[in-house]
A and B are shown apart, each in its own frame.
Chain A
Amino acid sequence: MSSLRDARKPKGPDAPPAKDLRGARYWRSLEEWADTPEFRRFVEREFPENASQWADPVGRRRFLKLMGASLAMAGVGACTVQPPERIIPYVKQPEEIVPGKPLYYATAMPQWGIGQGLLVESHMGRPTKIEGNPDHPASLGASNHFSQASILGLYDPDRSDVIRRAGRIDTWDNFLAELASALEVEAGRGGRGLRLLTGTITSPSLAAQIEELLTLYPGSKHHQWEPLNRDNVLEGAKLVFGRPVETRYRFDRAKVIVSLDSDFLAWGPASVRHARDFAGARRSEDGEMSRLYVVEPTPSLTGGVADHRLALESHRVEAVARRLAANLGIEGGAASVESAEQWIAGAVADLQRHRGDSLVVAGDGQPPIVHALAHAINHRLGNVGSTVEYTRPLGARPVNQTESLGSLVDDMRSGGVDLLVILDGNPVYDAPVDFDFAAALQSVKLRIHLSQSEDETSQGCHWHIPGAHFLESWGDVRAFDGTVSIIQPLIRPLYGGRSSHELLGALLGRPGLTAEQAVRDHWAAQMGPDSEKQWRKSVHDGVVAGTAFPPLTPQLDEAALRAEAGSTTSPSGMEVLFRGDPCVADGRYANNGWLQELPKPLTKLTWDNAALISPAMARELSLENGDVVRLSHGERGVEAPIWVLPGQAARSVTVHLGSGHRRAGRVAEGVGFDAYPLRESDKLWNAAGIQIEKTGQRRFLACTQNHHLIETGLASQQAHDRHLVRETEIEEYRSNPEVIHEMGHEFPEEMTLYPPHEYPGHAWGMVIDLGACTGCNACVVACQSENNIPVVGKQMVEMGREMHWIRIDRYFEGDLDDPRYVHQPMICQHCENAPCEVVCPVAATSHSAEGLNEMTYNRCVGTRYCSNNCPYKVRRFNFLLYQDWDTPSLKLMRNPDVTVRSRGVMEKCTFCVQRINAARIVARNEDRKIEDGEIVTACEAACPSQAITFGDINDSASRVARLKADKLNYGILNELNTRPRTTYLARLKNSNPELADG
């Protein structure tokens, strides 16, 4: 208990007192529970099994006392009279609102400045759930975990809610007054001292405002900075095309794909669309299945689905690219690459066989030359126009962001900047360390920072202005193909936040300008005479028709490659790779509890980042998981815990950016280590010659990879033995379609002691396609959002008490140093012969007439027998009151159609029964049958690669029934005769026969 109590203490002396008053019980209800007597009394009266006591080594006596008290009062807790409730109707009811029915609005989320189209569910004016917008090119109905979790970002109680000047509460009017006098000075000298710092800007209306500002103050400058920027992409294009162009990839058309350290399925503005297109090309039943080659230094989601993955240090990827190019007849001179020759030969042969429908893609972290080589290869293979298209850059003002920030820092240091306005972003935290942004910032006379929370940069600025969330303010944003979406707000700013448009309005001398006005005025001018009608349609659809960029045909200059030829040097020693965190990205989502607790796809770490090393390096340096090492590079160094990740290149150490915030909110502070102090401007993505020293300290990492294992023992071993994961080569499958079924053994239906269930109506079922699943986590967060699943905190995760209804089992396969990865989402299997149902003493878990394995929270008394008896280990128990019942903003966030569970209750996947019931009632009210595809579970809706299919297996024409009839379909643990309703499609591999052992 004492350790738990201490956990709520480390707030830091500079935590603002206002936050503490708001109640410290946000994510980790446990700590508050441990401290408040009210809560304790509540527990004593109602819940006999005080599970938290297990965490306390000296609590046995007290536990027995509590047991006695609980027994005496058993059941009395249920006898309280319901507290009175009030109904508050509208004064004037808006026409479109039907009380109790949700509405859906189209909007878009800017991710690194680029748009992801969304449909947002709103209950009586409260946005509660994010879905993808089927009409949006980057979404096609799907979404990713960042957009799913943005709903929690909106209601985050740690968001800043007051304007502050030098830490003290101040007013907008005072801000305007000080800004006006500073601008007056600037107006006198053409704005020489005025600087604007933003992230990537694709918003046409915001870009227009910035242009206006630069015209009004001709001496002023606009700088852009994203820590995970795409400089290499644009520089690479400049190298061979002479100008920056954006590349659009068509993975649906590509039959052979070579990825040069590109994680195109997980990162970048089009990753959701890429996942959809890629999965489609892998699924083609009769046509040719695509083949993926990946060379990468650190395991990624894309590497996980590769047919031929090659783990190679980051700086050697360039050599591979050169060798590929040379073998395809492009000049550039390339020596052979040790240990990669076979892979290269296979890839080259395949590429040559697929001229016009192959694709080479380079990663954001690779230097410009690799991008240039990829362009040259695509040109040489005739892929341009089919699998590769070029457009103008997405950014309205494309610049090399590292140089842009560098020149700003130079100007600041030389005293040339008097007024700096930072719109979003957190450069004090995430700027390259050699810029020493924080120190340079201090020489600016007036510093203004607009951001949603008071972060490290706010602390270094005079004025902090609370920013509006994208669900709170109007805006516009371009998608990966240039398509513009109007960002439509769903709720008024909860914390009085202002948008970038408003702040720019103030800079332009129009302080009353609203974001809505700025965006509407811009589009009224663009749309012409019919603008009102077009505007309404664009807002409704979530896309402005006809705004996608037309393809360009830039001329490729191969000679430029020759000029770059000799520039490779092969640095020795170890390298460190800087990558965005799979969950909190560059740090902007660090205060989001859903994302912090989300197990990272490959390491399954939660609430922490680590330095990822290969098993070979671990052996060499005798390091093990949790050992804290000092990573140093010259003068600079950081201390980081080690995590050994099979598949990591032997000499590469990966660190994820975005953790170790000094100031960002209660969730983010003190989580993980900050890797930015090692990141220099000329080595943004990898730095060679790194030193690793063991410090002797250890840090406990909350990792879920050994939680809820099916059977005991090594996961991969069991997976092999019991054939939980099944995969085969496509050639093998074609010659013997029964190969998947032969791996396991089925039980005849009559082999059960219990009478069979009859399903005269619907029979709901699900199929999960392992061939399509990339393990991206979108479903996990979608499920958390839809089903009001709580966050439990790091300590509870350490104890194995995480509450996610979906766990994605990640299996390694093969060699320890070079394994393959398979992701298997595990949810309640809704067994026909469910082992959980027969052991529940109070019938809280039961079988519905439509085959659902129901969990009735109000009946559950918490014996946990069901969980004991579940071979799939998919049931989750509320050991404590994990739900936050007090923070007002979080009450707004919850799905009103799903019970908010209390402690002592078992829970698990329900197949989104609230959606089934809603669809049934609507269909019945309209006198029709529920159509196939009408009920979409939250996970199915979110899945970018359409790996999940839900429907009625009694309807033989339904998608799910057809998939269940597929030869790839199998149920896991069928030998136990549980007869699961959730089944899996085996994964097909498409290895190159020429690379038999690769």
Chain B
Amino acid sequence: MSQIFHRSMNTYSRLSIFGGVFLLGATLWLADTVYRSSYFTGVGVPRQQSVPFSHKHHVDGLGIDCRYCHASVEESHFAGIPPTETCMTCHSQIWADSPMLEPVRASYRDNRPLQWNRVHDLPDYAYFNHSAHVKNGIGCTTCHGMVDQMPLMWNANPMHMEWCLNCHRNPEKYVRPRDQIFNVDWRPPPDQIEQGRRLVEEYQIETFVYCSTCHH
């Protein structure tokens, strides 16, 4: 019986097998790259807002404490976005005529809330609690980055589960003294791991890495 396929088919078949493997690898690599890109994570991409509120100006320039606006960060899962009234405590006096602040004044005048675009947006099936982290020595800038250097807010970190677990598994790498939580100028000391281990012990930080810690 004569052969059905020509000998050259061997080459083709080898090519297509290796090509297929390569193609599969390339697709996976591409998917992963896209998934980690700032297109997906929003890392480093300033989010436009109806009022161009600058953390850089208010935090770095004026030295306002985080909790002046994010008032519920120590007691609730939600850090809180300030009511218009909080803005107006100053802006009824300072920059009271600035056209940039007209939406704020309009909100106060008409009793219609301001709308902000959420920057740090976890999926709805992940439950994060600010108060628990702040209590356990995780500072604002650890997750939110150098807020005092952001004219408009952006994501400093990808907020992937891998990133969460990085700290949940090794809290000593990131934990800081409780009196430094809201200090935007705090930087990890050279002996962070050592200091961190001491704090983890002192604050009795448990490493919760089981699913229902965040997913319920």
A residues contacting B by CB (< 8 A) are: 79, 81-82, 84-93, 98-101, 761, 846-849, 852, 854, 856-859, 897-900, 910, 913-914, 917, 921, 924-925
Contact = CB atoms under 8 A, between A and B. Distances in A.
Contacts of B31: 79
B216 A79 contact: no
B5 interface: no
Contacts of A847: 210
B215 interface: yes
Interface centre among B123, B206, B216 (most CB of A within 10 A): B216
A857 B126 CA distance: 10
B195 interface: no
A99 B211 CA distance: 25
A848 B212 CA distance: 7
Contact of A899 (B78, B83, B124): B124
Given A91-B107, A914-B127, A897 B216 contact: yes
A89 B83 contact: yes
B108 interface: yes
25 contacts: A79-B35, A84-B118, A87-B81, A87-B115, A87-B117, A89-B81, A91-B108, A91-B113, A93-B85, A98-B76, A99-B76, A99-B78, A99-B80, A100-B72, A100-B78, A849-B208, A852-B212, A854-B210, A854-B215, A858-B125, A899-B216, A910-B216, A913-B212, A921-B131, A925-B132
A88 B113 contact: yes
Contacts of A100: 72, 76-78, 80
A78 to B, nearest CB: 9
A379 B31 CA distance: 83
Nearest to B204: A924
B81 to A, nearest CB: 4
B20 interface: no
Interface in B8-51: 31, 34-35, 39-40
Given A100-B72, A856-B215, A917-B127, A91 B35 contact: no
A897 B125 CA distance: 9
Given A84-B117, A88-B113, A914-B127, A856 B211 contact: yes
Interface string B67-98: 00000101111101111110000000000000
B149 interface: no
A900 B124 contact: yes
Task: Tell me what chain A mostly uses at the interface: helix, strand, loop, or mixed.
Answer: loop
B114 interface: yes
Contacts of A84: 117-118, 121
Contacts of A91: 83-85, 107-108, 111-113
A34 to B, nearest CB: 26
Interface centre among B78, B107, B211 (most CB of A within 10 A): B211
Contacts of A93: 83, 85
Nearest to B109: A91
Nearest to B35: A79
A902 to B, nearest CB: 10
A101 B116 contact: no
Task: Tell me what chain B mostly uses at the interface: helix, strand, loop, or mixed.
Answer: loop
Contact of A101 (B75, B81, B118): B75
A921 B77 CA distance: 9
Contact of A82 (B121, B132, B136, B212): B121
Contacts of A921: 77, 129, 131-132
Contacts of B35: 79
A540 B35 CA distance: 51
B208 A82 contact: no
Contacts of B80: 89, 98-100
A87 B118 contact: yes
Contacts, number: 125
Contact of A89 (B116, B125, B208, B212): B116
Contact of A88 (B34, B115, B129, B206): B115
B213 A917 contact: yes
B42 to A, nearest CB: 9
B78 A924 contact: no
Given A87-B81, A849-B208, A858-B215, 14 more contacts: A82-B123, A84-B118, A85-B118, A87-B116, A89-B84, A89-B113, A90-B83, A92-B83, A92-B111, A100-B76, A848-B212, A859-B211, A899-B215, A900-B124
Nearest to A857: B125
A724 B31 CA distance: 51
A88 B114 contact: yes
Contacts of A90: 83-85, 113
Nearest to B84: A91
A409 B124 CA distance: 56
B135 interface: yes
A925 B75 contact: yes
A846 B76 contact: no
Contacts of B108: 91
Contacts of B82: 89
Given A82-B121, A86-B116, A848 B210 contact: yes
A205 B174 CA distance: 61
Nearest to B118: A85
A101 B76 contact: yes
Contacts of B40: 81
B85 A92 contact: yes
Contacts of A87: 81, 115-118
Nearest to B74: A925
B121 A924 contact: no
B36 to A, nearest CB: 12
A86 B118 contact: yes
Interface centre among A81, A86, A91 (most CB of B within 10 A): A91
A910 B81 CA distance: 31
A745 B151 CA distance: 69
B118 A898 contact: no
Nearest to A850: B210
Contacts of A898: 216
A913 B77 CA distance: 16
Contacts of B116: 86-89
A854 B83 contact: no
A854 B212 contact: yes
A91 to B, nearest CB: 4
Contacts of B121: 82, 84-85
A994 to B, nearest CB: 53
A910 B216 CA distance: 8
B212 A856 contact: yes
- Of all A-B residue pairs in the complex, the 3 with the closest CB atoms, nearest first, are A100-B78, A100-B76, A90-B83
A515 to B, nearest CB: 25
A91 B80 CA distance: 13
A788 to B, nearest CB: 11
A101 B107 CA distance: 25
A925 B134 CA distance: 9
Nearest to A92: B85
Interface centre among A849, A852, A910 (most CB of B within 10 A): A849
Contacts of A81: 39-40
A895 to B, nearest CB: 10
Contacts of B135: 924-925
A87 B113 CA distance: 10
